[in-house]
């Protein structure tokens, strides 16, 4: 019944490993770029605020598929811009991560902004009364508290990102969805089984993440 | 799974037996079909024909309708079957869908850069061939690094083709197993990379490549390597075992070649890319 | 906390000067990036008008490919929403049942389809329809795209419905029970009608997610929606107008989605102000990125709605 699961023919674990790698690298990048974006979004410099909100409006309203396809077709093929990697496969892997970071960071930014709104006004006022500047108010006082209150929304973003990495199959990155498409075409008499295996793979990836981070969020939440 | 493998093997064997039977029985028909002249017992009021929508020079949807070599062939055959151009409905026949389209009766026949192969003959019947294409490479016009098949055996080479296509499979299995292969969902997505030099070549049938090279916007940008990596006999795919339609279409193809229309179609659709009109193929798919 | 003013002092003369310096530096960086990008494009010959002309000066490109593509996008998104709503409402209510035997399976179904990527659902539906049904080939990708979208979005909408019902003031339930309504009547006559209005902004926001996901159907299944059709247009124009093609497509998506987002927040603002309703609103913020295994319902929903 399961003889098509022969690792020689279909590298199931390898494909999910690519999915995990895409997720982890993209998550780290999105967290960094999303934090920078939220800093701009609430900064005293109008130009930065304008840039951040324009960036978010434009990127959030564009389908991820268009962004990922553009990363490969426009950046790599047309303009010859790549991030890392010698082979086509590696280049697409890193360009896909660039696309995921560009897209996911907008959700990180919006979550963080909601988190900043939950920090009591008195915190920032006290910090300013001590003579702290904007960077210090945001970096030392407000953002650390904001982060603690947005663990739950951020873990939703992370799980959405895990699922979104399947879009990388549009540019030929051999992750889980790419393998599933190949397997459903070749093993057409077992497609229900193939689907069940891949769906289960994603449940296994996302459910514990959600439960674990849900626990973390209750643990670190600022009690008020 | 093992159980279903057995079933599948059984089904294939049964299909092959049926095919043999059909061939044996059809031998007599073909004689009478020839005698009957144009069309014989085949008559249509209208036709649904499957073509490609995204292969300029072969089959392309344009603002003014459909254009390309396959489209011209389809129209000629339709005319010979007594169907006016206005009574033809063209629908898109993407490569992986072609057998299903025919089996379900969604189309009357398919003219869509459809290579005749034994595997496909288990599911459909072919008429023709009406053209012999070769897998080739489309290079940027100033690229001189690929002149022979030997030049393909390099791991620095970046080729581009369509996910799941025969051309992509051939690259992996035969011509250039070491080369890197970028796979997209359509051939046209490869062009921008070849133009900029980020990809070395787009590889598929030379007809399709010539069509891309011949587009007005691409004049002088691309060239074909001329490697003749394989022979692809394009046939017209139709319902399995419909020998009447097969011989009627074969007659139409013969007439098209004899009266010079065929050469004209090749010239007008593929000529602008410097594609030299080859010898017309002999019809082999008879019953 | 009203974000901008609380985080920093009213700028004095020195802070104003500093802000100007920051502005200049920031603009310089942006201009640098823009210049670098234009330079790359120029080197690749992508600034020539012939590359852009098919998409920005040729009406036939729009009438032959892009507008029919947009129509196909709208059809898939509209169908998905219309079918997903009742299914979502059913599962949302089932999850709130008093009976564990109803609640548990509904919960498992909803959590499962929220955990599985929509792309997997589409690919599976496409293959399954091809193998097991007689659905005509030319509409099969549409069926597959809509099926994938419905399965995923119904499970998201189930949570929205739940949030909408939970957001209603408790007095509604108590009053209904006090006048002797049964649980079924309470749901169909009191809670559901009110929660539908409360959910409207969230539903419109979900439409944005659906519109964006239709592009997957184009890229992976070949459904002739906007992105896929723009590829055919590019092919017809020589195949090397990729930047113009994706720019044009992105602009269309951004206009459509920005309009929907604006509509959602307008509805939300209007309903929050309205005196007639209970004032309960499920904002667009809750739908965008939902995760399995966590409930963004109850106390948090109003808050994330204002995000």
Provide ipTM, 2 decimals: 0.91
| Domains of chain A: residue spans and CATH | 11-220 (1.10.3720.10)
For B175-197, the pLDDT digits (tens) are 888 889 998 888 888 999 999 88
Kindly determine whether residue A157 and residue C215, on different chains, have CB atoms separated by under 8 Å: no
Residue from A39, A41, A61 whose CB has the most chain C CBs within 10 Å, to mutate: A61
Contact of A109 with A56, CB cutoff 8 Å: yes
Supply the pTM of this predicted model: 0.83
Residue-level pLDDT, tens digit, chain B, 287 residues: 444 444 454 444 444 444 444 443 333 333 333 333 344 456 788 888 999 888 888 888 888 889 889 999 999 999 888 888 888 888 888 777 788 778 878 888 999 888 888 888 888 899 989 999 889 999 998 888 888 888 888 888 899 998 777 788 888 888 888 889 998 888 888 999 999 889 999 999 988 898 888 888 888 888 888 888 888 899 999 988 888 889 889 989 999 999 988 988 888 888 776 777 787 888 888 77
Decide if C44 and B217 are in contact by the 8 Å CB cutoff. no
Q: Is residue C254 situated within a structural domain?
A: yes
Q: Which of A2, A5, A1, A30 is nearest to A158 (CA)?
A: A30
What does the alpha-carbon distance between residue A167 and residue A181 come to, in Å, rounded to a whole number? 12
**Assigned token pair, B115:** 């290579």
Structural domain includes residue C232:
yes
- Looking at chain B, which residue has its C-alpha nearest residue C219? B185
3-state SS record for chain C:
CCHHHHCCCCCCHHHHHHHHHHHHHHHHHHHHHHHHHHHHHHHCCCCCHHHHHHHHCCHHHHHHHHHHHHHHHHHHHHHHHHHHHHHHHHHHHHHCCCCHHHHHHHHHHHHHHHHCCHHHHHHHHHHHHHHHCCCCCCCHHHHHHHHHHHHHHHHHHHHHHHHHHHHCCHHHHHHHHHCCCCHHHHHHHHHHHHHHHHHHHHHHHHHHHHHHHHHHHHHHHCCCCHHHHHHHHHHHCCCCCHHHHHHHHHHHHHHHHHHHHHHHHHHHHHHHHCCCCCCCCCCHHHCCCCCCCCCCCCHHHHHHHCC
Give A219→chain C minimum CA distance, Å: 15
Does residue C149 fall inside a structural domain?
A: yes
Where does chain B hold its CATH 3.40.190.10 domain(s)?
A: 2-133+231-273, 135-224
* Paired tokens of B41: 């017992």
Q: What is the CATH code of the structural domain delimited by B2-133+231-273?
A: 3.40.190.10
Chain B positions touching C63 (Cβ under 8 A) are 63
Say whether B56 sits in a helix, a strand or coil: coil
Classify strands B135-140 and B201-205 as parallel, antiparallel or unpaired: antiparallel
Strands B201-205 and B158-162: parallel
Taking residues C203-207, report their average pLDDT: 91
Give the span between the Cα atoms of B147 and B225, in whole angstroms: 7
Segment C10-60, tens digit of pLDDT: 888 888 899 999 999 999 999 999 999 999 999 888 888 988 988 998 888
DSSP designation for B242: -
| B56, B92, B195 ranked by CB distance to C236: nearest | B56
Of A70, A163, A170, the CB nearest to C246: A70
Do the domain assignments include residue C30?
A: no
Quick check: is C110 in a domain?
yes
Region A127-143: what's the mean pLDDT? 91
Which tokens is C297 given?
A: 């319902």
The residue written with tokens 């999105």 in the block is A30
Mutate to test the interface with C, among A53, A60, A65 (most CBs of C within 10 A): A65
Q: Where are the beta strands (DSSP E) in A174-220?
A: none
C211 vs C215: CA distance, rounded Å: 7
Question: Longest C-alpha distance within chain B, in Å?
Answer: 58
In A, which residues are within 8 Å of C119 by CB distance?
166-167, 169, 177
- The CATH number assigned to the domain with range B135-224 reads 3.40.190.10
CATH of the domain at C298: 1.10.3720.10
pLDDT at B37: 37
Contacting residues of C for A167, CB less than 8 Å apart? 119, 216, 219
Chain B to chain C Cβ contacts (< 8 Å)? 71
- pLDDT, tens digit (0-9, with 9 covering 90-100), for C117-171: 999 999 999 888 888 887 776 788 899 999 999 999 999 999 889 888 888 888 9
d(CA A63, CA A70): 11
Residue B127: phi and psi, rounded to 5, are -115, 155
* CB atoms B1 and A171 under 8 Å: no
Could you report the per-residue pLDDT of C235-284, keeping only the tens digit for each? 888 888 899 999 999 999 999 999 999 999 898 888 878 766 666 777 66
Residue linked to tokens 């030299």: B276
In a domain, C189, yes or no: yes
Give residue C201's domain range.
55-305
| Cβ contact, residue pair B198, A76, below 8 Å | yes
pLDDT of residue B121: 86
Query: Which has the closest alpha carbon to B88: B52, B56, B55, B51?
Result: B51
* pLDDT score recorded for residue C278: 63
Q: Which residue has the tokens 């609430």?
A: A42
- Among partner residues C3, C4, C249, which is closest to A66 by beta-carbon distance? C249
C-alpha torsion A172→A176→A180→A183, nearest 10: 80
- Picking from A1, A34, A3, the residue whose alpha carbon sits closest to that of residue A158 is A34
Of A211, A40, A24, A46, which Cα lies nearest the Cα of A116?
A: A40
Q: Which of A1, A80, A172 sits opposite B163 (nearest CB)?
A: A172
Q: Domain count of chain C? A: 1
């Amino acid at each position: 019944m399961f003889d098509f699961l022969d690792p020689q023919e279909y590298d199931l674990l390898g494909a999910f490993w690519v999915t995990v790698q895409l997720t982890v690298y993209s998550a780290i990048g999105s967290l960094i770029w999303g934090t920078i974006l939220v800093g701009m979004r609430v900064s005293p410099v109008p130009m930065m605020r304008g840039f951040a909100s324009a960036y978010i409006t434009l990127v959030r309203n564009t389908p991820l598929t268009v962004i990922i396809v553009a990363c490969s077709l426009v950046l790599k093929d047309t303009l010859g811009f790549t991030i890392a990697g010698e082979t086509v496969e590696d280049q697409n892997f890193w360009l896909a991560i660039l696309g995921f970071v560009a897209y996911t960071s907008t959700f990180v930014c919006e979550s963080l902004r909601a988190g900043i709104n939950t920090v009591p006004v008195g915190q920032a006022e006290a910090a300013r009364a001590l003579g702290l500047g904007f960077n210090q108010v945001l970096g030392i006082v407000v953002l650390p508290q904001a982060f603690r209150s947005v663990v739950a929304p951020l873990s939703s973003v992370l799980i959405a990102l895990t699922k979104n990495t399947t879009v990388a199959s549009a540019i030929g990155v051999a992750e889980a969805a790419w393998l599933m498409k190949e397997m459903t075409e070749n093993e057409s008499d077992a497609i229900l089984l193939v689907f069940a295996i891949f769906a289960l793979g994603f449940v296994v990836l996302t459910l514990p993440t959600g439960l674990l981070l849900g626990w973390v969020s209750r643990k670190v939440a600022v009690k008020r | 799974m093992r159980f279903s493998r057995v079933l599948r093997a059984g089904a294939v064997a049964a299909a092959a037996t049926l095919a043999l039977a059909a061939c044996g029985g059809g031998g007599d028909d073909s004689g009478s079909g020839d005698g009957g002249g144009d069309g014989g017992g085949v008559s249509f009021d209208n036709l649904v024909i499957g073509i490609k929508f995204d292969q300029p020079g072969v089959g392309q949807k344009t603002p003014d309708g459909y254009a390309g070599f396959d489209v011209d062939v389809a129209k000629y055959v339709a005319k010979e079957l007594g169907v006016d151009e206005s009574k033809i409905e063209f629908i898109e026949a993407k490569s992986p869908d072609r057998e299903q389209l025919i089996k379900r009766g969604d189309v009357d026949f398919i003219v869509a850069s459809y290579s005749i192969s034994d595997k496909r003959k288990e599911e459909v019947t072919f008429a023709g061939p009406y053209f012999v294409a070769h897998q080739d490479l489309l290079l940027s016009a100033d690229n001189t690094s690929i002149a022979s098949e030997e030049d393909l055996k390099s791991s620095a080479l970046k080729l581009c083709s369509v996910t799941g296509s025969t051309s992509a499979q051939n690259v992996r299995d035969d011509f250039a197993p070491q080369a890197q292969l970028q796979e997209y969902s359509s051939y046209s997505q490869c062009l921008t990379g070849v133009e900029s030099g980020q990809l070395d070549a787009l590889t598929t049938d030379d007809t399709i490549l010539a069509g891309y090279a011949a587009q007005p916007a691409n004049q002088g940008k691309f060239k074909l390597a001329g490697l003749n990596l394989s022979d692809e006999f394009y046939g017209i795919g139709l319902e399995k075992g419909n020998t009447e339609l097969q011989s009627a279409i074969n007659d139409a193809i013969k007439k098209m070649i004899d009266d010079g229309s065929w050469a004209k179609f090749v010239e007008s659709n593929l000529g602008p890319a410097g594609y030299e009109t080859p010898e017309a193929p002999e019809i082999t798919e008879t019953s | 906390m009203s974000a901008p003013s609380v985080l920093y002092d009213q700028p004095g003369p020195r802070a104003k000067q500093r802000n100007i310096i920051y502005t200049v530096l920031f603009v310089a960086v942006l201009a640098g990036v823009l210049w670098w990008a234009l330079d790359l494009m120029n080197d690749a010959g992508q600034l020539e008008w012939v590359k852009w002309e098919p998409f920005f000066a040729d009406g036939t490109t729009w009438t032959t490919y892009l507008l029919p593509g947009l129509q196909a996008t709208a059809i898939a998104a509209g169908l998905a929403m219309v079918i997903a709503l009742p299914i979502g409402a059913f599962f949302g209510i089932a999850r709130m049942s008093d009976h564990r035997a109803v609640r548990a399976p509904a919960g498992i179904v909803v959590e499962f389809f929220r955990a599985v990527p929509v792309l997997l659902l589409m690919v599976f539906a496409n293959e399954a329809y091809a193998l097991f049904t007689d659905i005509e080939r030319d509409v099969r990708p549409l069926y597959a795209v809509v099926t994938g979208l419905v399965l995923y979005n119904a499970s998201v909408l189930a949570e929205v419905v739940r949030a909408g019902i939970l957001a209603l003031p408790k007095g509604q339930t108590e009053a209904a029970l006090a006048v002797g309504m049964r649980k079924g009547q309470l749901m169909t006559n009191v809670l559901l009608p009110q929660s539908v209005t409360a959910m409207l902004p969230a539903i419109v926001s979900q439409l944005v997610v659906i519109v964006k996901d239709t592009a997957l159907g184009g890229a992976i299944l070949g459904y002739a929606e906007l992105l896929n059709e723009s590829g055919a247009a590019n092919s017809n124009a020589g195949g090397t107008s990729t930047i113009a093609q994706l720019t044009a497509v992105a602009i269309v998506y951004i206009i459509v989605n920005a309009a929907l987002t604006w509509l959602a927040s307008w509805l939300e603002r209007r309903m929050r102000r309205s005196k007639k309703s209970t004032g309960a609103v499920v904002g667009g913020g809750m739908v965008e990125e939902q995760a399995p295994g966590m409930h963004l319902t109850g106390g948090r929903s109003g808050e994330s709605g204002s995000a």
